[in-house]
Structures are given as structure tokens and as C-alpha cells.
Amino acid sequence: MASTSKGNTSPAVLLLADGTVFYGRSCGAAGTATGEVCFNTSLEGYFEVMTDPSYAGQIVTMTYPQIGNYGIDLADVQSAFPGDGSRPANAPAMRAMVVRDMCPTPSNWRSATSVPAYLQKLGIVAIEGVDTRALVQHLRDNGAQMGIVSTEEFDLDELASRLAAAPQLVGENLVKTVSCPEPHPFTTADLPAAHDFALASPAGEGVANPAVHRVVAYDCGVKRGILEGLVRAGCEFVVVPWNTPAAEVLAMNPDGVFLSNGPGDPDAVPETYTQVQQLIGRVPVFGICLGHQMISLAAGAQIEKLKFGHRGGNQPVMNLLTRRVEITAQNHGFGLVFPSLGALVPELSGGVAEHPTDGDLRFWVERGIAPVVENERFGRIRLTHVNLNDGTAEGIQLLNAPCFSVQYHPEASPGPTDAHYLFTAFARLMAGEPDYLSIDIAADRLAGWNFATEEN
């Protein structure tokens, strides 16, 4: 190894809770880390994955075989964490990383450092040389589970003992570990100049009276890319901590409230969804990922732990309103149980009076229907999006209040741009347009990108 670009490396081990063991080599910091072992199927964007706060409490496995070949540009960081005594500003929240092959010598004009150097600097344990195909197949068959990665301890009994004593993901409030401590603004001035080569100017910039919407964003572990996408759609934010009282938010007189993505078990974050319950109906609300789950819980719905979750930039979702398929970027391990929102309204659900008994929402995809339920708290709620891989709920729209949400990430950081229209939809909702979700997705998906502009 000393004669290769990797140099001398120390051994490392990954032990799963069910006793499965993978051996490899260290490609990050030395140490030991525990967390839920999950996998991401994105082919690119590993740095955005690494710095997504939604991975707090997790050990991230990348399914693409080589990671680090184009290095890291810090302008692409997704964490907006301000830093504290335990973790520096913008640092990743994930516990550890698992890859097949780590490239220590990147080649890219934007690269400022390598992935191994970045991980070592921030003290994040990583292991390479693992058969990630076998690991992912094991997780798909047996479900996501707790694991421990170590470069310093190789006694399996000792590792198993440490793992058994580690906190579990379910029931733990991880949101409070990644949220901002104080309110702060986020405007066009916060957009990274390094992205100007690819992205057009924000909506309204340079116009005498730009249509800027004032938004309060609950930071539950928000990705910068999501805030940047909304700013480019004409929003300016005050970002507030995860547990900010609804009364304080309403006192700011916002045009809308945004509920961000975030990590872990949504049932463990009642301080947020109880506030959302007080906001719905009083101000337009848009939720993404954990924000979608917060709206669902505010409506009294049930949330389930998925077997291995949805993580990657290639999740197919059917938009039941437009009948278009969106290829989406996702990162979550929990999902809404749609029937728990209420009984079906047959006259708005194609005459169907009972929910499908197997819970597979592709039932509605096959029939071309966006079903509506009667909810005890907020009236009628429509199912708008369904995951085509497993038939789980991916989006809802409240019909008696200005509120909608999706389970996925529309900002392409990393991932496709099919869901870009959701930023536009939120702006239209705040502008009072009743049919705010009726958008030509095909036309909107490239909006805001410089390469989509025709040259004269």
C-alpha cells in the first residue's frame, strides 16, 4: 500500500447489530463510531450527502463503488449548522462513512481538498474495502440496523457490548443536535458566488419592485440547497430554531412558513409538530421531508419506520395531479401512513370508499386518482404523490387550508431537477393563487439554470 496513492492505511471493522461483520481499511479519522447503518444510491454528490444534516445519528454507506474522485469544493456544503463545542460550523452530522473504494487523489478544477483529508480534519471515522453490494443487499433483506465502525478496537465481543449500549435512532430527538440556536436571516446575499457559473440570478433580482415573499423557516436540520432554491424562487427567510413557539412566528407576520428536512424519528419531535398544528390555517405552510412528517403528525396521522428507507437521487414518484413521473432525491427512514389521516371521501376519490387493505398506494396510481380523506383536525386532505418503488406516500395537500408537503428533496443537491416546480408552487401559494400546484413540470424543471438559457 505504501507504493500506491493510498499510502499506508490502518485496518478497520464494521459490526452490525445482528452480528454480521465487514473488514476493511481506514479512510477517514481514527476512532470508533456507532449509528444506524443506511445506504445512499446516488451516483454523484457524495459531499452533499456527507454534509446533509438529515444523516445525524447514522453511518452512511455509498453504493457507488468509488467515492472522492472529484474531490470537495466547500461551496457545495449542505450543512447550515453554526457550530458549537462538539462540532465546528457546517460540519457533517453523520457518525461514519462506508465505501468500496476511496479516492485520495481527486481531479477536478473546483476541488479544494480530498474526501479522506476532509474526514480526518473533522474527526469522522470511515472505512473502505467493504463489499458494499453485499452490505446493501443485507440491509435490504434484513432492514436498516445499528452498527459500529472502529479503527482501534477489533474484539467483536467488546464492539458488540459498545453497540448494545449506544442510543437507538427510534425515540431519540436528533433534530435538536443540528438546528440553529438563534434566529438568523437567509437572503440573496447568502447565495454562494461559486455557483453563479451554473445558476441564473434569483427571481426578482434587479427588478424595481421584486415579488419577494417573507418566510419563516423552521430549522430542523435544513439543507442550504433547499434554502437557496427557495431564495431563487423569490423568498427571503428568517431561519428559526426547531422549537420556536408558533406565537413568535406569527408575530413576525410572515407571508409563509417553511418546515425543513431533518434527521431521525419524527415522533420524537413534538415541540415542532405541536407548533405546526397552531400554524396551519393561519399562514401558508410548505413542508419538505421531516417537514412533511411534521404536517402529518400535526394532522394526527401515524408515522411508520420504513424497512430500509429511501436515500438517493433516483427515486421515482408519481405526481397524481399531473400524471407525470418525477425522479427525486430523498433521504428518510420514516413515512406517512396515509389511511391514518382519515376516511376516504368517495365522491372525491373516484367512488372508492375504503383504503386499499395492503396499504400500497400504487392502487391510486393505477386508477389515475388523487384520493381525498376527511381529517378530524384540518378537513379534507388530498394524496398528491406516491413512491413507485414501494407505494408509500410522498406528498399531501390540505384542501381547506393553504398547506402542502412532500417527502423528498426538490433542490438537486445532489439529484435531478424534476421537482424544482415545488419552489414555484410555494411562491404561488403565498401569492394567493388557488391552483398553485398546477405547474408544467417539464417546463419548470430547468428554470433558474444558466445552461437552459438560449443565446441570441
Contact 98, 62 (CB under 8 A): yes
Which three cell numbers, joined as nine digits, stand for 416?
Answer: 435531478
Element (H, E) at 250: helix 246-251
- Distances in whole angstroms, Cα of residue 359 to Cα of each of 188, 241, 390, 392: 43, 35, 10, 8
SS3 115: helix
Contact 202, 210 (CB under 8 A): no
Which three cell numbers, joined as nine digits, stand for 308?
Answer: 430500509
Strands 213-219 and 11-16, bridge-based pairing: unpaired
* Bridge partner residues of 334 (DSSP): 305
Residue numbering of the annotated binding site for L-glutamine:
54, 262, 264, 290, 293, 331, 333-334
Contact 270, 249 (CB under 8 A): no
Give the separation between CA 101 and CA 107, rounded to whole angstroms.
16
Decide if 289 is catalytic.
Answer: yes
- Distances in whole angstroms, Cα of residue 40 to Cα of each of 10, 73, 74, 140: 25, 20, 21, 12
User: Which residue blocks in 5-147 are alpha helix, DSSP H?
Assistant: 46-50, 115-122, 132-142
Which three cell numbers, joined as nine digits, stand for 188?
Answer: 440573496
Decide if 292 is catalytic.
Answer: no
Give the separation between CA 400 and CA 277, rounded to whole angstroms.
14
DSSP secondary structure string, 327-385? EEEEEEEEEEEGGGG-EE-GGGTTT--S--TT--THHHHHHT---EEEETTTEEEEEEE
Set 292, 332, 409, 420: catalytic member = 409
Decide if 411 is catalytic.
Answer: yes
Set 38, 228, 411, 420: catalytic member = 411
Give the separation between CA 456 and CA 450, rounded to whole angstroms.
14
Set 103, 289, 326, 332: catalytic member = 289
Which residues have a catalytic role annotated? 289, 409, 411
